[in-house]
Structure 1
Amino acid sequence: MDTWRFDAIGTVWEIETSAPLGERERTAVSAVIDAFDAEWSRFRAGSLVSQIAGGGECPAPPDAVAMLELYREVSEATAGAVNPLAGGSLVALGYDPGYSLRAGVARQAPEDWTATLRWSDAALSLDAPAVIDVGAIGKGRLVDLVLAALSHVGGRIVVDAGGDLAVRGGGIRVGLEHPYDTSRAIGVVEVRDRALCASATTRRAWGDGLHHVIDARTGLPVRRWAATWALAPDAMLADATTTALFFDGGPAFAAARGLDWVRMSTDGRVEASTGFPGELFLLPGRPGGR
């Protein structure tokens, strides 16, 4: 197997293929990533979402409906805790385009976000100033797009974007990294022709208890759960599920879709879906330490 490693959208990517990818395939992958970033990155001054941050309308990216309809489902499942306009909350806590990491006053995201953010196949618009952040599902969506760009490549393919990964044409065993000790795993699972996404509050963390997983209702980082993992047919849905699992409605959201998952609390306790297909080294409900 050959592995192509590179940096993009603030994380390390690894694409594993049976034979080295040619220049045409690598160029295609880079183009897919750059196009997505140019549409959805709130850190990129010229992106579509940055252009309408003060209010306004732009042509809809090709995946706007798919992504934002899934956001609507996750938002409803978590009683509003997940919200694509929580970008303003992250900016207020210092996770801004300049990475100032200087926290101000917590800012609640617009509660009725679907009245402010509108989308269709043709247009994406904001009726008032707001910061769109699709971090709850965006990286998973991009993993799917990269995998699709390599649809003509034979053999097993693994696309891994900093822990959000999708596998086609075979299977791999993946360790579930302990959020407080990266040299340990709390379990292992086989990922075969599907996706596994992970999220942890110890990643993209700064200051005193500040991290990127925000409760849109309060504008503050979540405190109860430290890490989540979810298996799904595609990475966008797996990514959405890992975000939902930081909140009370997460397990029901996953169960309604028949998805398997694991989550670990900040005190080291583990919960998992019934019949989770992997092996857990920390028994559900028992503390695993920090």
Structure 2
Amino acid sequence: MRRVEHVMGFPVSLRIDDEDVPERAADAVFAWLREVDERFSPFVTGSEVSRHGRGELGRHELSEDLVEVLGLCEHYRLATDGAFDAWLPGRGFDPCAVVKGWSVERGAQLLRASGVRRFCLNAGGDVVVAGGPWRTGVRHPERADRLCATLELTDGAVATSARYERGDHIIDGRTGHPATGLLSMTVVAATLTEADSVATAAFAMGAEGVEWAASLAGCEVFAVVTGGQVLRTAGFPVAGEMPAAA
């Protein structure tokens, strides 16, 4: 089974290699992601996230899901000494950096609960897989037609934060300015919740974020710093590699 839909502002593709998988397994994933888009988008005026950002909801009125997202945001704010911050002055509350990975990981959990054993769920380049091996590429941060690495995963997730798709959209909360020092940060972890959050938080920290991410248990890192130097942890699951320097 293969399906692609545009949800949350980017293409989401699902491939399931099990035989005789009911269509409702995929239906549940995309229904959940559409629900997330309505409830957690800071760009939807009436979403729960927007209402919370405007102070319209008391703590007792928040859904369990939003409480979980708020907890993740606070965890990474503290862990990065404020470099990662969902509450930036002049921008309002924007938890998208956490919500994307968290929601897609929840989608993967729905697949597992339906009995799906072998799948690849790709949300705008951030990927969670099961029943591999699966191969995925890490895009060269300065050359759209090249990869700087190919990695192989059996079960787990990989996420990349970079400037090549959306420009300087990741802000260092300590300075209020776009993060510098890294061209791209790729993180492999057991869940996409962690991989995506750590990749964004590390990118916000700049060059120092590489060592921070690498120090986290269960995280493997592939980073390209400004100038083209590649830094990676020994356990990063590289299956084949091309040089990252221009």
Structure 2 length normalisation: TM-score? Answer: 0.88
Instruction: Supply the distance in 2 between the matched residues of 1:39 and 1:148 (Cα, whole angstroms).
Output: 19
What one-letter code is carried by the residue in structure 1 that aligns with 2:8?
Answer: I
- In the TM superposition, what are the counterparts of 1:81-120 in structure 2 within 5 Å? 81-86=83-88, 88-89=89-90, 91=91
Q: Look up the match of 2:8.
A: 9
Q: Look up the match of 2:233.
A: 273
Between 252-261 and 232-241, report the one with greater CA deviation.
252-261
How much does 1:68 deviate? Answer: 2.8
Q: Look up the match of 1:50.
A: 50
- In the TM superposition, what are the counterparts of 1:231-250 in structure 2 within 5 Å? 231-246=188-203, 247=205, 248-250=208-210
- RMSD over equivalenced CA pairs, Å: 2.1
8 Å contact 2:162–2:184 — kept in the other structure?
Answer: yes
List structure 1 runs of 4+ shifted beyond 3 angstroms: 19-23
Aligned residues: 238
Instruction: Supply the distance in 2 between the matched residues of 1:177 and 1:249 (Cα, whole angstroms).
Output: 19
Of the three residues 116, 120, 140, the one matched with 1:178 is 140
Q: Look up the match of 2:41.
A: 41
Instruction: Supply the distance in 2 between the matched residues of 1:52 and 1:288 (Cα, whole angstroms).
Output: 43
- The answer to whether residue 99 in structure 2 is matched with residue 138 in structure 1 is yes
Instruction: Supply the distance in 2 between the matched residues of 1:276 and 1:221 (Cα, whole angstroms).
Output: 27
Runs of at least 5 residues in structure 1 that lack an aligned partner in the other structure: 92-130, 206-210
Instruction: Supply the distance in 2 between the matched residues of 1:175 and 1:14 (Cα, whole angstroms).
Output: 15
- In the TM superposition, what are the counterparts of 1:197-236 in structure 2 within 5 Å? 197-205=159-167, 211-236=168-193
- The answer to whether residue 98 in structure 2 is matched with residue 76 in structure 1 is no
Q: Which has the higher helix share?
A: 2
What one-letter code is carried by the residue in structure 2 that aligns with 1:265?
Answer: V
Q: Deviations over 1:210-258 (max 9, x none)?
A: x211111222211211111101110010011101222124532442323
Q: Look up the match of 2:216.
A: 256
Which secondary structure state, in structure 1, belongs to the residue aligned with residue 144 of structure 2? strand
Give the share of equivalent positions with the same residue, in percent: 29
How much does 1:32 deviate? Answer: 0.7
Alpha carbons of structure 1 residues 17 and 60: separation in structure 2 relative to 1, 3 Å: same
- The answer to whether residue 22 in structure 2 is matched with residue 25 in structure 1 is no
8 Å contact 1:172–1:190 — kept in the other structure?
Answer: yes
Instruction: Supply the distance in 2 between the matched residues of 1:204 and 1:21 (Cα, whole angstroms).
Output: 36
- The answer to whether residue 24 in structure 2 is matched with residue 62 in structure 1 is no
Instruction: Supply the distance in 1 between the matched residues of 2:3 and 2:20 (Cα, whole angstroms).
Output: 8
How much does 1:84 deviate? Answer: 1.1
Alpha carbons of structure 1 residues 52 and 74: separation in structure 2 relative to 1, 3 Å: closer
What one-letter code is carried by the residue in structure 1 that aligns with 2:174?
Answer: R
Alpha carbons of structure 1 residues 253 and 268: separation in structure 2 relative to 1, 3 Å: closer
Which secondary structure state, in structure 1, belongs to the residue aligned with residue 97 of structure 2? coil
What one-letter code is carried by the residue in structure 1 that aligns with 2:217?
Answer: R
Q: Look up the match of 1:101.
A: none
Q: Deviations over 1:154-202 (max 9, x none)?
A: 3411110011110112221111111221211111111211011111111
Runs of at least 5 residues in structure 2 that lack an aligned partner in the other structure: none
Between 46-55 and 66-75, report the one with greater CA deviation.
66-75
